[in-house]
Structure 1
Amino acid sequence: MKYSIFFKSTILFLMVLFLVSCKQAGKSETENQGDHPDDGRPSVSELIKEMDTNADNKLSKSEVHGPLSNDFSKIDTNNDDFLSKEELENAPKPERRGPGNVDNSNNVQKDLEVTVNVDPSLFIKESMLKDIKQEERTLADGTVALCYIITTASQPNEHNMGPWCPTHINDGKDKGGIWFKDDKVYDVDGHFIANLKDFYSDEEWALFREDGSIKVTETQEECEAAARPDVDEKYHNYCVQCLPDYYKEKVSTYVIPVKPMYLENSNSLGGNGIGIAFNGVNFDAAAPTHAILAAHTLAPLDDAGGHVNPHSGYHYHAVTGATKEVKQKDEHAAMLGYALDGFGIYAHKDNSGNANADLDDCNGHYDEDRGYHYHAGAAGSNKILGCLHGVSGSLTVEN
């Protein structure tokens, strides 16, 4: 009897303890739900901390990237060109997708009156590591389609790569590349480096030493420690440059549908390339400037809009007119390459120097000669494309 009473008492105590623990856990989860989503997405506070480069506790168009950039106008309910914490908290939650997967179950393919197939003859033959071939492949949404397989070293032959970082504050613009802010492009010369405190209104910028020499990554090891989102603390306040020779063995393989398939709803850009220039170089999504600027590092582009990272080698974040262009018979902007969905990418401005005012969120529109197609964003926008409106192929990069 004594042991029975003790056993019952123990069970009762454990049940009470369990209920209290569950109640406290539920309370904690409810209290934190608004700031710590349970689906793996960053909280509103984390988003602002990550992207708010000027620390004004709100996000401008130039600061956001990814899905926020695509839905900026929808979230900005007061139309002041900024996203406040309140607006972000009230924004509709994006549908969650698994890594590398696109759920197009409710995304209808739409037949357009004019659809232009990919033309493999436009690619620079000398830039190809293998002959372009056709194969049936599975696309991002599970569709099986006839695709072009394009294999390149992602290194241009129309222009030189670099330079990126000047080595002294007296160096001219011929010693460095370019940088961007608020849709404008700036030459990264010695004067630019010396005045970063004023440029970003931040006294912590100090990329040069007392003798005027600029702190630049000089080896592959230093490049890889600095050219990552979590910049190694040793390379805070450095000008980051990775040289093409570090990764010259990389092979990029593009799978692009021969006939692009337009979708009624767009898909966000992936993190592994968005298209290919005619010289075989990767058009990439927006550069993660929020991460490197937070560490007071600068990773300039060269004058062609490209730089090198350990993952994909040389790639473009901006279009500056340095690559092969295919002129059009009319005044339309010249063609530059293809997006991963097979739709053509054209220059930002037409032959008269005018930009299109009717582009959708992906930087695309339709005409009767080219069908649906994209226009590269302005060089200072850090956005070649905003999203993809077709069923995407893929890019893989291997050593």
Structure 2
Amino acid sequence: MNYLKLFRFPQLLLITLLLVCCKTNTKSSDDNVSDQPQRQEQGQQQGPSVENLLEEMDTDNDEKLAKSEVQGPLLDDFTKIDTNKDGFLTKEELENAPRPERRGPRENNTESEDNVQRDFAVTVNVDSSLFIKESLLSEITQEEHTLSNGTKALCYVITTASQPQEHKMGPWCPTHIEDGKDKGGIWFKDDKVYDVDGHFIANLKEFYSDEEWALFREDGSVKVTETQEECEGAAKPDVEEQYHNYCVECLPDYYREKQSTYYIPVKPLYLEKSNALGRDGIGIAFNGVNFEAPAPTHAILAAHTLAPLDDAGGHVNPHAGYHYHAVTGATKEVAQNDTHAPMIGYAMDGFGIYAHKDADGKASTDLDDCNGHYDEVRGYHYHAGSAGSNQVLGCLHGASGSMSVKG
């Protein structure tokens, strides 16, 4: 039994499980591969191939599956299958997916395996008035919506163009190895932030200890994507070969028609088990720009490409338009009445996101794996990772709404 069968044929699964429970004298098909022909003779159908599964579920056609695109047992074991922890399931990971763990019958009075909701003494509702009105494409409304755990809740519906009001977007790539830091953005490594100036581009071989880096030509000009077609050839997991050793710069004007719609629960619901981050946004800044899961640096660097962020921690891709992978203090902040870090936005589960450091320049040391903790003023909330960590949040601990992009 594999994930493909479990996902595609729920009725067949139920029949199969009933047969397995009744046949106590035969070996499990998971334990004996040679039983496969016998099962087929008994009429059990084969599930779809990985290619068919990707074709059916890969809604954004990026040849991988985000958590928001899957369901059933595949969703339950998403983190286990996602071996490189980038928030996506690739074809290779699906093909190598472990079989579902066999569960015995549930005895009476045992603890439920459901993801239990926890109520805190303090839970702070989303304050929709904090969003910058000029960033919205329409007034914020309320609507009942199904959350990630299957429950229905009242959500704010927020529609934006992902265009910041507080800062300009870019620049990202310098055009010559003699350009200063004002001509480029930033990059990160080992929790540190570096200015992507001409000197940085010229010294990538030493920076990564890899002789294959060559982002500039003999005349010192930097190889930069200059059109939407070039941007889209370079800004994807399987970078087209002609754009290896390029600085990737996708401009906001390429995707100015994109609209992002968020459904965020008015009252957040904390769940005991955390949820891995998906592709479709992990939160929203007060300027309407989405916070994204970690940038897929393994794919970027493997092609010897660089996809710098601007000084605000954002860049552009064909899927989401302009978005943030880092928090640098460039966006709207809501100061607190104590020394706590300022608030910068909301996660998709409705819990607040706060800056990395407090007013005294100190980072919290008691955060969970999602970068969250609880206090009696703000309830449960998150803190953004450091700008060089490539991780705004580590996961989500609440029942999430959803985010979609069109245009």
User: Structure 2 length normalisation: TM-score?
Assistant: 0.74
Alignment correspondent of 2:329: 321
What is the total number of aligned residue pairs between the two structures? 318
- Name 1:286's counterpart in structure 2: 294
- The corresponding residue for 1:309 is 317
Q: What is aligned with 1:359?
A: 367
Do the aligned residues in 2 keep the contact of 1:177 with 1:189 (CA within 8 Å)?
yes
Q: Is the 8 A contact 1:67 1:268 kept in 2?
A: no
Corresponding residue of 1:263: 271
What does residue 128 of structure 2 align with?
120
* Residues 191-210 of structure 1 aligned to structure 2 (within 5 Å): 191-210=199-218
Q: Secondary structure at the match of 1:148?
A: strand
> Structure 1 311/320 Cα, relative in aligned 2: closer, same or farther at 3 Å?
same
Give the corresponding residue for 1:165.
173
Aligned to 2:395: 387
Structure 1 residue identity aligned to 2:158? I
**TM-aligned CA deviation for residue 67 of structure 1:** 7.2
Q: Identify the residue that residue 242 of structure 1 maps to in structure 2.
A: 250
CA distance in 2, matches of 1:275, 1:303: 19
SS for the counterpart of 2:272 is: strand
Cα pair 1:66 1:269 within 8 Å, conserved = no
Secondary structure of 1:338 counterpart:
strand
Matches within 5 A, 1:145-156: 145-156=153-164
Measured against aligned partners, the alpha-carbon deviations of 1:194-250 in whole angstroms (never above 9, x if no partner) come to 000000000000000000000000000000000000000000000000000000000
Q: Superposed, which structure 2 residues align to 1:126-137 within 5 Å? A: 126-137=134-145
Residue in 1 that maps onto 2:405: 397
Provide the residue aligned with 1:299 in structure 2: 307
The equivalences for 1:23-42 within 5 A come to none
| 1:215 correspondence with 2:223 | yes
Looking at structure 1, the residues matched to 371 and 50 of structure 2 have their Cα atoms a distance apart, in angstroms, of 30
**Alignment check: 8 A CA contact 1:69 1:386 kept:** no
CA contact under 8 A between 1:66 and 1:268: conserved in structure 2? no
In 1: Cα distance, 2:176 partner to 2:100 partner:
46
What's the CA shift for 1:362? Answer: 0.1
For residue 188 of structure 1, the aligned residue among 177, 185, 196 is 196
Q: Give 1:137 shift.
A: 0.8
> 1:212/1:375 Cα in 2 relative to 1: closer, same or farther (>3 Å)?
same
* Alpha-carbon shift at residue 140 of structure 1 (Å): 1.3
- Structure 1 position 69, deviation (Å): 5.6
Conservation of the 8 A alpha-carbon contact between 1:169 and 1:194: yes
Rounded to whole Å, the distance in 2 between the matches of 1:272 and 1:253 is 11
Question: Distance in 2 between the 1:188 and 1:346 partners?
Answer: 27
Tell me the residue number matched to 2:349. 341
Percent of aligned pairs with the same residue? 77
Output the aligned Cα RMSD: 2.6
Per-residue Cα deviation, 1:6-26 (whole angstroms, up to 9, x for no partner): xxxxxxxxxxxxxxxx85999
Deviation at 1:312, TM superposition (A): 0.4
Letter in 2 for 1:229: P
Note the C-alpha offset of 1:265.
1.1
Deviations 1:22-62 (A, max 9, x none): 85999xxxxxxxxxxx999xxxxxxxxxxxxxxxxxxxxxx
* C-alpha distance in 2 between matches for 1:243 and 1:312: 12
CA distance in 1, matches of 2:251, 2:99: 40
Cα distance in 1 for residues equivalent to 2:295 and 2:100:
22
User: What secondary structure sits across from 2:304 in the alignment?
Assistant: coil
Structure 1 CA distance for aligned equivalents of residues 270 and 246 of structure 2: 43
- Distance in 2 (CA, whole Å) between partners of 1:317 and 1:105 is 33
SS of 2:118's partner is coil
Q: In the TM superposition, what is the alpha-carbon distance from 1:347 to its structure 2 partner?
A: 0.1
User: Could you tell me how far apart the structure 2 residues matched to 1:264 and 1:67 are?
Assistant: 23
- 1:188 partner amino acid: V
- Write the mapping of 1:104-115 to structure 2, written as runs, cut at 5 A: 106-115=114-123
Report the alpha carbon displacement of residue 68 of structure 1 after superposing the two structures with TM. 6.0
Unaligned runs of 5+ in 1: 1-21, 27-37, 41-64, 71-88, 96-103
Per-residue Cα deviation, 1:274-303 (whole angstroms, up to 9, x for no partner): 000000000000000000100000000000
Per-residue deviation, 1:105: 6.2
Partners of 1:171 and 1:190 within 8 A in 2 = yes
- Determine which structure has more spread, i.e. the larger CA radius of gyration: 1
Partner residue, 1:230: 238
Distance 2:83 2:278 in 1: 10
**Counterparts of 1:182 and 1:395, CA distance in 2:** 30
What SS class does the counterpart of residue 233 from structure 2 fall into? helix
